[in-house]
Structure 1
Amino acid sequence: MVFNTGEREAQSEKYPSLTDMISLEHEENSFRVELAVMDYALNDIVEFSYKLQGLDDNWIFLGNEKNLDFRNIPYGKYELRIRTRQKNENWSADYERLFITISPPYYLSIPALVLYSILIAVVSFILLSLYVKKINAEAQLRVKKLQLEQDGKLHMERMNFYTNITHELRTPLTLILGPLEDLLHEEKLSSKHKDWVFIVQKNANRLFSLVNQLLEFRKVESQYKPLVLGEGFLSELVAETVHKHAVANNNDRLEIICKIAQVDIKTNFDAEIVQMILDNLLSNACKYTASGTVEVCLRYEHETLSTCALIEVKDTGCGIAPEHLNKIFDKFYQVPRSVSQGTGVGLALVKELAAIHHGKITVKSELGIGSEFCVRLLTSAVVIPQNEPVVLLPEATMPSPGEGPQQLLLLVEDDRDLREYLNSVLCSKFEVIKAENGIEGLELAKSRIPDIIISDLMMPDMDGFGLLQELKGERETSHIPVILLTAKDTEPDKERGYALGVDSYLTKPISPQLLHRRIENLLSKQKSMYNKVLAQLSTQIKQDSATESINSPELWRENAFVQEFANLVEECIQDEVMDTATLANKMNMSQSTLYRKLKGLTGKNINQLVRKVRIQKAAQLLRSGQYNITEVSLMVGINSSIYFRQCFKEEFGQLPSEYQKKKL
């Protein structure tokens, strides 16, 4: 037998060895086996058959063919068996055999398989190690999470304990401060004893202030302190707070100065937060300044899209060492001093409050020279209507304590003496504007949009009924509560007044206490109307609330106005910025009138109501389940996802993701 191996470039011949074995490379898996008969005389009468054991177990008949061709035989070990016979005779029992071995390719060789095994073992070991590390890390994370939860619970229990103790302190403090106030007004008390009582009162007030400070700190830390923005002049609040501290200052060597720009601007700010910040900074400045000055400055920084108010409190006290400057805003941190210690809460509270107002606080200080605290608060300037005067506050002018934003009351009375008397009765709680007759009163009502109107019934030119009819017929003034003062106590007059929409009657002579009580009740009723009108904008309004609003003609009329405004907002809800002047023009009102009308109906300004409409629409889209939170935020015109989540949580008390999960 002769082997002819076919290769890509050349052919070669191989002969079996004495052991009837032949070895081929992987590339030599296509070959031919040539057969021959030793006796030439039998060459034409001998027939062959074969089988390649390991590839095919069947005998294959060749006849007189002497060549066996094999192509692309897989690597492995084979046994080639060949038997012969003469024509038409039986096959011989003996057969020739040849063992053929075809080597595997290099990548399937034993060294390669060993290498693969080693690699698999290494990879398996690495994966197993990583899995074990992952399990250990998850276990450590669970332990750490449980520990944090336990620490949080312990912290909350401690804070709740402090809060409860603080609340308990307020009752005895109230019982202490009340009698002390009475003692100070006791004429028979000697001057020496009055001084002692004054010292006790001063320290009781200080303790009361610390108790309130702890409560505010607890509220801020628990994230229960909301940011409630309102329009106003920041200079008024700053000047009032500084004046309060200046009056309470009994140190003759200390002077408290307030410096405010001559022309102030109207901005949006949280008056409560600003006052608490300023109170804490002024208290600290006065405490650590034995002599010299404490100066408070207010100025503004105007940026492209916002306005920032900067409140600076400078003192000439003992100052703070540089190594303590980075720690004074930490909770319960106290700077070592020779003077009396504090609680370490005030500056931490100031920092938290400034953060709530989207601001920050910085400090500069030198030992023996003094300190300067600067609070930078994000505000937004408000466009002042043309008929609203600009507030001018000279540096030396400060409002007296107790002054502040008051509700506007329109008093229409033709009798001068009675008008001035009622003004003196009401001016302590309300900002009073006066008119001598119904025509003048109607003009003032349209231009100023008061919170409540008190009018006489019998007046020249236009009586109370005529004024009432005009007020309830105008969109701008239809929501204003009206009290009619009259000496005519007949049933027909009352029926006519109630038919026109009067809210209350008072018969002369008038009791001041009854007048105040009636005004308070009407304003409380107005606040309840806020909730009902706002409920109509909610997509979750109950059926009984809707029925109640429909059955009330007055509420139905006012809700129609708010709903018209809401529909107008929804038409351009995808606009990130809505022009209030354009909205007012489409509502056929001036901007200031629309502002006061919506404020009187809902207790919210234009921007707050626009935001409410956006968020209610967002809730409706989230409940549909067709959009994700980012898409909904853009669809309602709020491009900042952080601001959208904040507004949504303020409206519904939960994040959009939580709301969507509950509603789907």
Structure 2
Amino acid sequence: MPSGAVYFNPLQVPLVLPKSPIRISSFVVFNAGETNTQSEKHPGIAEKIELEHQENSFRVELAVMDYALNDMVEFSYQLHGLDDKWVFLGDEKNVDFRNIPHGNYELRIRTRQKNENWSDSAQQMRIEISPPFYLSTFAWFCYVLVFAGIIVTLIFFHIRKVYAEAELRVKKLQMVQHEKLNLERMNFYTNITHELRTPLTLILGPLEDLLQEEKLASKYKNGILMVQKNANRLFSLLNQLLEFRKVESQYKPLVLGEDYLGELVKQIVQKYAEANTNTDLQISCTIEQPDIKTTFDGEIVQLILDNLLSNSCKHTAEGKIEVHLTYEQDNLTTSALICVKDTGCGIEAEHLNKIFERYYQVSKTVSHGTGIGLALVKELVAIHQGKISVKSQPGKGSEFCVRLLTNAVPATPQNNLHISSSNPIETANDLRAVVLLIEDEKDLREYLATVLSVNYEVITAANGLEGFELAKNRIPDLVVSDVMMPDMDGFTMLKKLKELRETSHIPSIFLTAKDTNTDKEMGYVLGVDSYLTKPISPKLLNSRIENLLLKRKTLYTAMLNQLSGDRDDTKVNQPENNPELWQENALVQEFVMLVEACIQDEVLDAATLADKMNMSQSTLYRKLKGLTGKNINQLVRKIRIQKAARLLRSGQYNITEVSLMVGINSAIYFRQCFKEEFGELPSEYQKKVALKTKIAPF
């Protein structure tokens, strides 16, 4: 070989690959398990494939452009946008992709000769998979619109709700204001009525006294009867106006009670029959079937019948007025049918549809009313869930029928205790009962004091505060009081009296024009024993006082039976059988326990007992007198004798020992006291007890 020659080794010459040794030969889309060629061309580097959202599984097939290098080229790929890692394929020329999410991707494919470095450049192809319709731009735009619509709707309804709540608050405020206005109106009418009823009492009371005078000349008597008649008519119109205002302002409640409707109807008709001075007119009541106990509002029934009977009496110069009561029963309800039939002047047919209108009068020359009576009746019937009808013929009379919805209730036996006495009530030791009269109207106070002083010792007060102080100092047997008074009203005064230990037992009567159910309920809750509405009948007032004092006298007996050794504890001591007794029994029991603790002392000083009871001697005296009818000494003696009787019944002591054990050292005085209490001597009592013990069965 010549020097300087260069030798060529073909193995040392590197193999140079072409710039783009591969191409994408085909692009196949898998659709529901089947293959579907989307493109038959060989895409270039910058080409782009667009697919639907369901075409997200596909295959990319590669091809080597130089056949000589077909088995010497290796592949790797990267799907940019899904995974940035390069995936090695080796000499595999097919690339499969499954369930690729929608979006924009770039498929990059690079090559190398086996065991050499990867090429710097890569084959690229853009793939765009469109989203499903519900994730498209238009869909998102719709979503935004819907969401915005929902927000706007919520805001709209929230504003509507705010406005509705504001409107509701305004309506509630208006209702409250309306109720307050109605209450103020009712208070105004009540106050006016109170002011008018007080002078009516001063008119009707003396008139009633004058009519009872036997020496009164007939010509004067007729004049007084006329005055009394018109005063009663004025009183009736006043009540009618007040009730009409109650109904008009919807302040009239329906207060149902259980009673016999027939008895109430008879009482009302009897009242008109007794007051009837027309000899040519007969008033009668007929109940066509046995009376049953039902639920009804007695006040409303009385107002209805009063108006109907008053109209019938007014327009019936002669003939008769008949009141019929019948019951109509079905499986669910019971209705009471009350018919008022008269033989008066009657009503023309053209007026029948208008007589229940307010202030309507058939004839201005004949009618003497205000035209609100029948309108009031119609409203009251509606409140009682009933109906009213009328039939009339001019010259023959009219018939008003009222059907009221009632419910029958099981009848229970009634044990009515009627106590009657023609003599004034007297307390123990024949002392006259003390009545405290509280009335702010001077003339009425003086008149009632004169009327009551015939039978009772009367002390008077001008207002509730003065009456309260008098009640504390004098401890009267009964309090008669007005309600509306300066300084302290009747309700406040009664509440204070019931809170005091010394005066809690005193019965009370309220004289007032405030006769609404609310006022009555308040009074009865506080402990009022009776209500009398102005104008007041002196005879009725005396009867009510007499009954209350008689009732108090029965409480004396029940209270003293508590001290008796023969009392039946299973009956007398039950609070539900005698609630008034148990209300005051604690003080008497405390006094009894105090006396029994010191019973062996011969002298039990009243001042000492009062001091231990934390009361003054005079207050304790009046309190025990009001509860038991006995003074302190009489009560102490009774406790001693009752204790002695229990000791004798035990059979462990003789009479002398028992006398000393109860603090009576004189045997003669002990026998005298024992006989006054039991009607027999201690020895006779002891023998009788011993005999009963011997013959008692085992």
**TM-score category (smaller protein):** 0.5 to 0.7
Aligned residue among 9, 33, 41 for 2:68: 41
Q: Is the 8 A contact 1:265 1:381 kept in 2?
A: no
How far apart are residue 326 of structure 1 and its match?
A: 8.5
How many residue pairs match? The answer is 428
**Aligned counterparts of 2:237 and 2:268: Cα–Cα separation in 1:** 17
**Aligned counterparts of 1:27 and 1:69: Cα–Cα separation in 2:** 16
How far apart are residue 34 of structure 1 and its match?
A: 1.0
Aligned residue among 126, 147, 152 for 1:99: 126
**Aligned counterparts of 1:74 and 1:27: Cα–Cα separation in 2:** 10
How far apart are residue 242 of structure 1 and its match?
A: 2.0
AA aligned to 2:417 is: Q
Change (3 A) 1:345 1:140: farther
Q: Does 1:178 align with 2:208?
A: no
Q: Is the 8 A contact 1:317 1:371 kept in 2?
A: no
**Aligned counterparts of 1:68 and 1:95: Cα–Cα separation in 2:** 15
**Aligned counterparts of 2:546 and 2:188: Cα–Cα separation in 1:** 44
Matched ranges for 1:311-322 at <5 A: 311-315=338-342, 316-319=344-347
Aligned residue among 395, 398, 408 for 1:380: 408
Change (3 A) 1:155 1:272: closer
Which runs of 5 or more structure 1 residues have no equivalent in the other structure?
A: 389-404, 410-422, 429-513, 554-664
Match of 1:229 in 2: 258
Matched ranges for 1:610-625 at <5 A: none
How far apart are residue 134 of structure 1 and its match?
A: 2.2
Offset from partner CA, 1:181-220 (integer Å, 9 cap, x none): 2333456765444333222211111222344456667788
**Aligned counterparts of 1:44 and 1:545: Cα–Cα separation in 2:** 124
**Aligned counterparts of 1:327 and 1:336: Cα–Cα separation in 2:** 7
SS, match of residue 49 in structure 2? strand
Q: Does 1:67 align with 2:82?
A: no
How far apart are residue 545 of structure 1 and its match?
A: 9.0
**Aligned counterparts of 2:588 and 2:87: Cα–Cα separation in 1:** 102
Match of 2:390 in 1: 364
**Aligned counterparts of 2:94 and 2:132: Cα–Cα separation in 1:** 27
Match of 2:81 in 1: 54
Match of 1:90 in 2: 117
Q: Is the 8 A contact 1:354 1:377 kept in 2?
A: no
Q: Does 1:521 align with 2:552?
A: yes
Match of 2:226 in 1: 199
Q: Does 1:407 align with 2:417?
A: yes
How far apart are residue 245 of structure 1 and its match?
A: 1.6
**Aligned counterparts of 1:346 and 1:526: Cα–Cα separation in 2:** 51
Change (3 A) 1:83 1:546: farther
**Aligned counterparts of 2:404 and 2:202: Cα–Cα separation in 1:** 39
Q: Is the 8 A contact 2:333 2:405 kept in 1?
A: no
**Aligned counterparts of 2:255 and 2:282: Cα–Cα separation in 1:** 35
SS, match of residue 63 in structure 2? coil
**Aligned counterparts of 1:7 and 1:60: Cα–Cα separation in 2:** 25
How far apart are residue 228 of structure 1 and its match?
A: 3.5
Match of 2:283 in 1: 256
Change (3 A) 1:229 1:548: farther
AA aligned to 2:338 is: I
Offset from partner CA, 1:18-52 (integer Å, 9 cap, x none): 54111112221101111111111222222222211
Change (3 A) 1:23 1:517: closer
Aligned residue among 19, 28, 31 for 1:4: 28
Match of 1:588 in 2: none
**Aligned counterparts of 2:50 and 2:578: Cα–Cα separation in 1:** 92
Q: Does 1:267 align with 2:302?
A: no
How far apart are residue 365 of structure 1 and its match?
A: 3.7
Counting aligned pairs with the same residue, the percent is: 45
How far apart are residue 165 of structure 1 and its match?
A: 1.6
Change (3 A) 1:109 1:551: same
**Aligned counterparts of 1:134 and 1:319: Cα–Cα separation in 2:** 56
Change (3 A) 1:544 1:95: farther
**Aligned counterparts of 1:516 and 1:253: Cα–Cα separation in 2:** 37
Offset from partner CA, 1:420-468 (integer Å, 9 cap, x none): xxx985899xxxxxxxxxxxxxxxxxxxxxxxxxxxxxxxxxxxxxxxx
Aligned residue among 161, 168, 185 for 2:195: 168
Q: Does 1:344 align with 2:382?
A: no
Change (3 A) 1:3 1:547: farther
Q: Does 1:140 align with 2:194?
A: no
AA aligned to 2:29 is: T
Matched ranges for 1:341-490 at <5 A: 341-342=369-370, 344=372, 348=376, 351-352=379-380, 355=383, 360-366=386-392, 368=394, 370-378=398-406, 380=408, 407-408=417-418, 425=422
Q: Is the 8 A contact 2:295 2:409 kept in 1?
A: no
**Aligned counterparts of 2:216 and 2:236: Cα–Cα separation in 1:** 27
SS, match of residue 35 in structure 1? strand
**Aligned counterparts of 2:401 and 2:318: Cα–Cα separation in 1:** 18
Q: Does 1:110 align with 2:137?
A: yes
Change (3 A) 1:302 1:309: same
Q: Is the 8 A contact 2:28 2:60 kept in 1?
A: yes
SS, match of residue 340 in structure 1? coil
Match of 1:209 in 2: 236
Q: Does 1:26 align with 2:41?
A: no
SS, match of residue 64 in structure 2? coil
Change (3 A) 1:3 1:517: closer
SS, match of residue 278 in structure 1? helix
AA aligned to 2:27 is: F
**Aligned counterparts of 1:228 and 1:515: Cα–Cα separation in 2:** 27
How far apart are residue 353 of structure 1 and its match?
A: 7.2
**Aligned counterparts of 1:192 and 1:292: Cα–Cα separation in 2:** 27
**Aligned counterparts of 1:45 and 1:89: Cα–Cα separation in 2:** 10
SS, match of residue 229 in structure 1? strand
How far apart are residue 153 of structure 1 and its match?
A: 0.8
How far apart are residue 293 of structure 1 and its match?
A: 4.2
Q: Does 1:78 align with 2:105?
A: yes
**Aligned counterparts of 2:348 and 2:574: Cα–Cα separation in 1:** 54
Aligned residue among 264, 280, 293 for 2:307: 280
**Aligned counterparts of 1:303 and 1:550: Cα–Cα separation in 2:** 55
SS, match of residue 148 in structure 1? helix
Change (3 A) 1:56 1:165: same
**Aligned counterparts of 2:408 and 2:335: Cα–Cα separation in 1:** 7
Match of 1:469 in 2: none
Change (3 A) 1:142 1:381: closer
How far apart are residue 348 of structure 1 and its match?
A: 3.3
SS, match of residue 99 in structure 1? strand
**Aligned counterparts of 1:552 and 1:345: Cα–Cα separation in 2:** 58
Q: CA RMSD in A?
A: 4.5
How far apart are residue 537 of structure 1 and its match?
A: 12
Q: Is the 8 A contact 1:79 1:99 kept in 2?
A: yes
**Aligned counterparts of 1:383 and 1:137: Cα–Cα separation in 2:** 51
Match of 2:600 in 1: none
Which runs of 5 or more structure 2 residues have no equivalent in the other structure?
A: 1-23, 426-544, 563-570, 593-698
Offset from partner CA, 1:138-176 (integer Å, 9 cap, x none): 221111111111111111111111112212222111101
**Aligned counterparts of 1:531 and 1:327: Cα–Cα separation in 2:** 58
Change (3 A) 1:36 1:236: closer
Q: Is the 8 A contact 1:77 1:102 kept in 2?
A: yes
Change (3 A) 1:171 1:9: same
**Aligned counterparts of 1:266 and 1:427: Cα–Cα separation in 2:** 37
Offset from partner CA, 1:60-84 (integer Å, 9 cap, x none): 2222221111000111111111122
Higher mean C-alpha deviation, range 90-99 or range 240-249: 240-249
TM-score normalised by length of structure 2 = 0.52
Q: Is the 8 A contact 2:285 2:324 kept in 1?
A: yes
